């Protein structure tokens, strides 16, 4: 069996893996697939044309839960971009509950904004508010509100912004497969409140099993309650699977915010199994854990700040009756070996591709 330490070292050095039997070929193939997403992102591949800035607009960001690092990162990007384009922004926090998001939607409608950004919750959940916005002629764009990238007319969304969630999930699973020398035994964490979360977790499961790995357990637990549930869940899983449990695969980083203390209490070292791999976000806390070798090995990061800029650009297009940009933002497999690149020094995936100036050119700003 190809040893994990060997695979990690070879990847870090950029050395091609040697010819080995079929099982090892599968390991090297998986790692080659991962490496495509691990390099620096220096070239702008997004839109270069579009409408100039609509002047004097006010928009609302409806955030699912501002305690979620991904949602916070996107919101920061929206605020930064809005300042550049010259718009006012109101951020309303749904505080991690359906009732909170419903109340926030009501507040948003009372403000009569020029546009609304749905940030991090399933559009289907807030059908009544979405219908009211459409009836009022208020354009809607979103981040992670739908399994669809781009226009989602069924839900009245002009453009849903995301990386390719299926690529993100596959990359996370491929890394775990290669890191385990072709014999991963994984636990998958997801939240059935969100259609996209289930789609991502299912893709992780399919990829692991297709490669020949084992899914020990598929855990459905609410993102909003991770602080309460993850410590006891982690302890129970350790008791159930012990050393068989090689990797934890979650649909975003927040699950791992609360796993470390339970692992430490059980005597598990920060860089030992089960290794944590997140299929999404790239939160500040995830970067800190990866850099310190403390209970997370990988995050498949999204360019959260860039996506905030894209949301503003898409809303500018919607307000002016233009088509969506057609852009899908890049993903980035973040490990201890490449964590210093593309914004990693600031604990974010912030591509060095000049996206701020590129969007400002389009807007005439």
Mean of all residue pLDDT scores within the chain: 91
Share of residues in the chain with pLDDT > 90 (%): 78
Residue 100 has pLDDT above 50, yes or no: yes
Q: Identify the CATH number of the domain defined by range 4-35+165-301.
A: 3.40.50.2300
- Helical H runs in the chain? 4-13, 22-35, 69-85, 98-111, 127-135, 165-179, 195-211, 226-241, 260-265, 284-292, 304-319, 355-363
Q: Is 68 exposed, middle or buried (0-12, 13-18, 19+ CB in 10 A)?
A: buried
Domain ranges of the chain: 4-35+165-301, 58-162+306-327
| Cβ pair 164, 328 in contact under 8 A | yes
Q: What is the 3-state secondary structure (H, E, C) of 50-104?
A: CCCCCCCCEEEEEECCCCCHHHHHHHHHHHHHHHHHCCEEEEEECCCCHHHHHHH
The yes-or-no verdict on residue 17 having pLDDT over 70 is no
Per-residue model confidence as pLDDT tens digits over 133-191: 999 999 999 999 988 899 999 899 999 999 999 999 999 999 999 999 999 999 999 99
pLDDT tens figures, 222-231: 998 999 999 9
CA 23, chain centre distance (Å):
30
pLDDT at 85 exceeding the cut of 60? yes
User: pLDDT (tens digit, 9 = 90+) per residue, 235-279?
Assistant: 999 999 999 999 999 999 999 999 999 999 999 999 999 999 999
Q: Is the pLDDT reported for residue 300 higher than 50?
A: yes
Q: Is 142 helix (H, G, I), strand (E, B) or coil?
A: strand
Q: Which range has the worst mean pLDDT, 31-45, 96-110, 139-153? A: 31-45
The pLDDT tens digits of the residues spanning 200-224 come to 999 999 999 999 999 999 999 999 8
Unique residue bearing structure tokens 């951020």: 91
pLDDT band at 195 (very low <50, low <70, confident <90, very high): confident
Place of tokens 């899914």: 215
Buried b (16+ CB within 10 A) or exposed e, 262-280: bbeeeebeeeebbbbbbbb
Name the CATH architecture for the domain at 58-162+306-327: 3-Layer(aba) Sandwich (3.40)
* Three-class secondary structure of residue 216 per DSSP: strand
pLDDT of 18 strictly over 80: no
Do residues 131 and 105 lie in contact, with contact meaning Cβ atoms separated by under 8 Å? no
Residue 11 has pLDDT above 50, yes or no: no
- Distance, CA of 348 to CA of 28 (rounded, Å): 28
Nearest CA-CA partner of 78 in 66, 95, 90: 90
* Token pair 């839900």: residue: 155
């Amino acid at each position: 069996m190809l040893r994990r330490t060997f695979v990690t070292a070879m990847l870090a050095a950029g050395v091609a893996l040697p010819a080995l039997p079929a099982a090892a070929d599968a390991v090297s193939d998986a790692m080659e697939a991962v490496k495509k997403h691990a390099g620096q992102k220096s070239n702008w591949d997004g839109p270069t044309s579009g409408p100039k800035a609509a002047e004097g607009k006010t928009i609302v960001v409806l955030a699912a839960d501002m305690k979620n690092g991904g949602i916070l990162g996107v919101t920061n990007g929206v605020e930064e971009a809005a300042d550049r384009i010259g718009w006012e922004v109101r951020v309303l926090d749904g505080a991690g509950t359906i009732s909170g998001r419903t109340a926030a939607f009501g507040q948003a409608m009372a403000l009569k904004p020029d546009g609304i950004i749905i940030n991090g919750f399933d559009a289907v959940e807030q059908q009544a508010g979405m219908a009211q916005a459409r009836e009022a002629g208020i354009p809607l764009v979103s981040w992670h509100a739908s399994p669809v990238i781009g226009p989602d007319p069924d839900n009245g969304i002009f453009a849903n912004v995301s990386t390719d969630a299926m690529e993100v999930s596959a990359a996370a699973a491929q890394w775990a497969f290669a890191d385990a020398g072709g014999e991963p035994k994984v636990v998958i964490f997801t939240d059935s409140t969100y259609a996209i979360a289930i789609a991502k977790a299912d893709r992780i499961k399919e990829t692991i099993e297709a490669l020949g790995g084992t899914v020990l357990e598929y855990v459905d637990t609410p993102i909003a309650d991770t602080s309460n549930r993850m410590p006891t869940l982690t302890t129970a899983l350790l008791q159930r699977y012990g050393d068989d449990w090689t990797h934890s695969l979650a649909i975003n980083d927040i699950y791992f915010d609360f796993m470390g203390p339970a692992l430490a209490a059980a005597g598990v070292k920060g860089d030992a199994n089960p290794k944590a791999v997140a299929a999404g976000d790239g939160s500040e806390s995830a970067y800190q854990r990866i850099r310190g070798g403390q209970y997370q090995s990988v995050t498949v990061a999204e360019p959260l700040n860039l996506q905030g800029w894209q949301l503003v650009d898409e809303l500018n297009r919607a307000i002016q009756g233009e088509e969506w940009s057609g852009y899908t933002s890049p993903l980035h497999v973040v490990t201890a070996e490449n964590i210093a690149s593309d914004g990693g020094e600031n604990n974010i995936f912030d591509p060095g591709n000049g996206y701020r100036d590129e969007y400002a050119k389009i807007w005439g700003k």
